[in-house]
Structure 1
Amino acid sequence: MLPERGPNDRKARISARPVSRGRALCRRVIGMHTAWDAVGDGEFFCPACGGDRNYQRLTGRRRFVLLGLPIVPRGAAGPVIQCAACQELSDPDVLDHPTTTRLSAMLRDAVHTVVLAVLSTGGATARPALDTAIGTLRAAGYDDCSEEQLVALVAALAADTGRATEPDCAPGLAIELHEALGPLAPHLAPAGREALLLQGARIALADGPYTPAERDVLATAGCALTICSEDVTRLLATARTPS
């Protein structure tokens, strides 16, 4: 049996109706309206969609609205980034994240730079190091990499960066590593950054123990990848352990 409703319950229901309707009416009568204008477009990684999408950069003008008519300017709005697919609005700093296509290209370039940097310390003359380097580059997407091409690239890098065989990493080579790895590091998980350093370490170990020059190049690469010196030491030891 349903409980009996008293007069107070009925009064509560009746009094609640005008309040909710009044609020809805108030929202229709007065409020704030933003008029958006597109000022640019492009492709970005949409965090809402989880993939590469087209976007529009929007700027807006806010106005106080009365009876559906904008009457009082309330200042500028935005800029914001609007995804063309899901229509989600994001802050402009979302464009700092590279697209998946761009991220893949950055990763390939990083592997290429690390490989050449390690070989430029003298490994280009050793067959085991060359074979390991070629396998690493092909796995990264350089399918047509050959020994002749790799040796020529190492020679060109040595001439361009002023490679030194002493333990200190040549300044030009350090710049190359930081330019290739620095922008990539914030977008890689720790495991991804460590895997990149380990690839270089295994090339260095392919023809024997680390030379001082190889250690210095790998330490520079680790620094560019924001890996602390203690972890670099741990990873270089890990690479030496058979899997």
Structure 2
Amino acid sequence: MIIFGTRSVTSTPERGEFFCPNCRSAQTFKLKRVRNFFTLYFIPLIPLQKLGEYVHCEGCQGDFVVDVLNFDPNMVTDRAHEAFATALRRISASVLSKTQATGRDQIAQAVAVYRYHANDGIDEDELRDSLAQVNSHEPLANHVAGMDGNLTDPAKEIIIRLAYETGLIAGDLSEDLYQQIAEMAMALGMTPAHFRGVIAGD
């Protein structure tokens, strides 16, 4: 009596290193390939159709789609940094616009404040370009929409200090501007106590 049939067989055609989204770090992986085989007396002999592939992390033992191998955490970091810097520039320009502190000396002071907090180069011409693009009537909170989950507490504090100190360039903060900065802090997920502490320099 001849016994034949089919069965799936899992092989490991590739091993390497990848960034595991569960471990949030570089880990070794096994690329697992599942294929049907024709069997004779339960022994797989002839490969048939491929059923699928997946990536197995040897760190957390999790399984992922193959596209996870294309993920580059450095690209995400670069994009996040760029988005943060862009938000800071727009906030700086927006505060200047709201306070009408657009004179040469005031812009120079704003550049100094920006460089101190952002640790990023910007010159007066670039800040003027940003000034030309902002709407003075747009709430400050709009500039941080959707950023709450992507920022650390120190990054949130930088945003608030930058806005607050830029606002002081024109003199005492108006009640409206103070409220807008407070609402921006709320949009960033900061508590009122945290916000007041940042403003006080604690």
| Fold shared, TM-score > 0.5 on shorter chain | yes
Corresponding position: 1:117 with 2:87: no
Change (3 A) 1:100 1:89: farther
Among 189, 197, 211, the residue aligned to 2:174:
211
Cα distance in 2 between the residues matched to 1:81 and 1:126: 59
Cα distance in 2 between the residues matched to 1:196 and 1:71: 59
- Quote the residue 1:178 is aligned against: 144
Opposite residue 226 of structure 1, the aligned amino acid is G
- Quote the residue 2:4 is aligned against: none
* Partner secondary structure for residue 209 of structure 1: coil
**1:93-112 per-position Cα deviation (integer Å, ceiling 9, x unaligned):** 97696622222212211221
Q: Can you give the 5+ residue segments of structure 2 that lack an aligned partner in the other structure?
A: 1-6
Corresponding position: 1:131 with 2:131: no
- Quote the residue 1:143 is aligned against: 121
- Quote the residue 1:53 is aligned against: none
Change (3 A) 1:212 1:59: farther
**1:188-219 per-position Cα deviation (integer Å, ceiling 9, x unaligned):** 32222222221221212234322123213312
**1:219-241 per-position Cα deviation (integer Å, ceiling 9, x unaligned):** 23213322223322332232xx8
Cα distance in 2 between the residues matched to 1:91 and 1:130: 50
Change (3 A) 1:81 1:201: farther
Cα distance in 2 between the residues matched to 1:230 and 1:96: 37
Change (3 A) 1:48 1:205: same
* Partner secondary structure for residue 101 of structure 2: helix
* Partner secondary structure for residue 99 of structure 1: helix
Opposite residue 178 of structure 1, the aligned amino acid is V
Aligned residues of 1:128 and 1:206 also touching (Cα < 8 A): no
Aligned residues of 2:88 and 2:159 also touching (Cα < 8 A): yes
- Quote the residue 1:202 is aligned against: 165
Shift in Å at residue 75 of structure 1?
A: 6.6
Aligned residues of 1:119 and 1:204 also touching (Cα < 8 A): yes
Cα distance in 1 between the residues matched to 2:173 and 2:85: 24
Shift in Å at residue 120 of structure 1?
A: 2.1
- Quote the residue 1:103 is aligned against: 80
Cα distance in 2 between the residues matched to 1:213 and 1:45: 46
Shift in Å at residue 134 of structure 1?
A: 0.7
TM-score (normalised: structure 2): 0.60
Aligned residues of 1:118 and 1:217 also touching (Cα < 8 A): no
* 1:55-74 superposed matches below 5 A: 61=34, 67=43, 69=45
TM-score (normalised: structure 1): 0.52
Q: Can you give the 5+ residue segments of structure 1 that lack an aligned partner in the other structure?
A: 1-29, 37-42, 51-57, 83-87, 165-169
Percentage of matched positions with identical amino acids:
20
Change (3 A) 1:134 1:49: same
Change (3 A) 1:205 1:127: farther
Shift in Å at residue 81 of structure 1?
A: 9.1
Query: Greater CA radius of gyration, 1 or 2?
Result: 1
Cα distance in 1 between the residues matched to 2:47 and 2:83: 50
Change (3 A) 1:44 1:104: farther
Opposite residue 194 of structure 2, the aligned amino acid is D
